[in-house]
Amino acid sequence: MENIENTRGIKELQVERKENIQAVYDNLVPRRVPINVSLGLDIVAEYAGIDRRESLWDPLLVESAADELCDRIFSDVCVYGGKIHMPSYYQAMGSKNCVMSSTGFMQHPNTVGLLAEEYDDFINNPFDCIIEKVLPRNYKDLNFLEDPARSMFTIAQAMMAKNKNMAKTVGMIRRLTEKYGYPVNEPGTGGGVYAPMDILTDNLRSFSGMSSDIRRVPSKVKEAVEALYPLNYKVGIPPKITNYGNVFFPLHMPTFMREKDFSTLWWPTWFRQVNDYASMGLHSRVFCEHDWMRYLDYIQDLPTDTRIQFEYGDAKKIKEKLGNKFILTCLFPLSVLTTCTKQECIDKTKEFIDIMAPGGKFIFGFDKSSLVLSDINIENLVAVCETVRDYGVYSNPGDKAGLSFHKEDYKHSEVKPFESKYYRTFEEYKRQNPETPEMAKNTVMELEDAIVSFIYSLCQ
C-alpha cells in the first residue's frame, strides 16, 4: 500500500513539476520558482569515492551515488547531469583538442585546426575544409584523405562509443526520473550549436588566432562566418520544434572582444540564426559566458522568450532591463556555497529570489557548473535549493508573466542550402537507388545528417 501511495505521490510531483516549468515557457507566472540544479559526472564520482578515470569509461558506476544525491537535493531537473566529453570517443580518434589531464579531467587545450592562410578554402566550402584540413590536425586518426580506411573505422568507433555512453546516461537519468518524479522532456525537442564565429574560433582558428585575425583580416572573418551559416543553421535545428524545447548556444567570444568587432563580426550571423529559429517557433537558450553587462542593449533585441543564462552581472539591472521580455536564469554565485554559512546561504538565496522572481519568467540556477566537490558544500546546496522551493512561491500563479512570444513577429532570412561534396542529398540517393519511396526520406537523411552533426561536434 505504501509503495503505491509513494508511486502516486511521485507521479503527482512529476506532473506538478512539469506544469510548473511549462507555465514559465507559456509566459505564465508559475506556482513557484523552478529549480535547475544538477551535478555532472566528475563531481558525482568524487562524491562516490570512485576513480574519476573509471567513471569516465563507465558512468553507471556512479548510479547509486547519483541516486543518493537526488534524494538529498531538491531540484526540478534530474540532479545527475551526466557528461558529454568522454575518453571512449575522443581517444578513439586521437583527439588533440579534447584530452585528459594528469588528474583525469577532459579538457580543451588551445588548438589550431585552421591556418590563417586557409580562410579562402574555408569560405569556399566550410564542411569540405573541416573534413580535409581541420579534422586531420585536431584528430590524428581522422585523416580521411591520406588514410581513409582507418579514418572510417575510427569515426564509426567514435560514433558508437558516443551513442553507447549516451544510452547509459539516458538510461540512468530515466531511472532517477521515475524514482524522484522529475519532468520528462519530449524526445527530439532539444538541440545544441555554437554561434557561427565561436565555432570558427574555438578549435578552428583558436582563441589566440582569432584575436589576431579580427585585426589583420576582418573581412575574411566576416566572409567565413557567413559561409558557415548554412551548416551552423542546419546543425542547430532539433527534429521536433515545440514551445518547451530549445536550441542551446554557449556564447564564448564576445566579452573578450571590443564592441566594434563584436557588432560587426560576431553578432550579425548569430542574431540572424536566433531570429531565423524564432520565426520557426524554435526558442534559443543562450549561456552568456563571462560578464555581458556591456552588451545588454544588444541582448534586448533578441526574440521574446529567449532563455538567457548569465554567469556574472548585476542581477537588479539584468532583471529590470530584460526581465519582462526574456526567461532569465542562473547568475547565483556557486561560491556562496563554500564561502558562507548555511544561514548566510539561505539569506542570500532569499535576497536573490526577491530580485529575480517577481513577475515570473525566471528559473533558479547557479552561475557556474561545479566541477569538484570542494566547489560546493552539499549541506549548503541542499539549504539553497530548499529555500528556493519554499520561499520562491508566487501569490498569483497563472497570471500573464510579461511580453508574449509570437513566431509571426520574426522573419526568416534566405538561407542557402547546405552543400558539400561529402554530403549526399536525397535526390542523389534516389538517383543511385531509384526504387526508394519518398517516405524513406527521413530515414535516409537522418543517417546522413547524423554524420554532419557528429563532424560538427568534433569542432567544439
CB-side neighbour CA atoms (13 Å) of 186 = 11
3-state helix, strand and coil shares in percent for the chain, rounded to the nearest 5:
55, 10, 35
Shortest Cβ 196–other proteins spacing (Å): 17
- What angle is formed at CA 286 by the lines to CA 126 and CA 71, rounded to 5 degrees? 125
Shortest Cβ 372–other proteins spacing (Å): 5
Q: Which is nearer to other proteins, 164 or 215 (CB)?
A: 215
Contact characters 374-403, other proteins, x per CB under 8 A = xx----------------------------
CB-side neighbour CA atoms (13 Å) of 292 = 26
Q: Which is nearer to other proteins, 349 or 370 (CB)?
A: 370
Q: Which is nearer to other proteins, 143 or 369 (CB)?
A: 369
Q: Which is nearer to other proteins, 297 or 408 (CB)?
A: 297
CA dist 331 and 366 (Å) reads 6
Helix axis angle for 267-279 and 218-236, nearest 10°, is: 20
C-alpha cell at 429: 540517393
Q: Which is nearer to other proteins, 77 or 98 (CB)?
A: 98
- Name every residue whose Cβ is closer than 8 Å to that of residue 117 and which is 6 or more positions away in sequence: none
Contact characters 98-127, other proteins, x per CB under 8 A = -x-xxx-x-xxxx-----------------
Out of 53, 216, 316, 441, the residue judged to bind other proteins by CB under 8 A: 216
- Coil, strand, or helix at residue 310? strand
Contact characters 265-294, other proteins, x per CB under 8 A = ------------------------------
Helices marked H in 190-286? 196-200, 207-216, 218-236, 259-261, 267-279
Shortest Cβ 258–other proteins spacing (Å): 6
Name the nearest CA neighbour of 385 among 417, 352, 358, 418. Answer: 352
Name the nearest CA neighbour of 226 among 298, 126, 130, 131. Answer: 126
Out of 124, 163, 300, 339, the residue judged to bind other proteins by CB under 8 A: 339
Shortest Cβ 294–other proteins spacing (Å): 8
Contact characters 238-257, other proteins, x per CB under 8 A = ---------------x-xxx
Name the nearest CA neighbour of 100 among 52, 47, 133. Answer: 52
Shortest Cβ 291–other proteins spacing (Å): 11
The torsion angles phi and psi of 186, rounded to 5 degrees, stand at -65, 130
Q: Does 341 bind other proteins (CB under 8 A)?
A: no
Shortest Cβ 111–other proteins spacing (Å): 10
The interface region with other proteins, picked from 72-80, 97-105, 133-141, 189-197 by CB under 8 A, is 97-105
C-alpha cell at 187: 524526445
Shortest Cβ 67–other proteins spacing (Å): 25
- The residue ranges that bind other proteins (CB under 8 A) are 99, 101-103, 105, 107-110, 207-208, 210-212, 214-216, 253, 255-258, 261, 335, 339, 370-372, 374-375
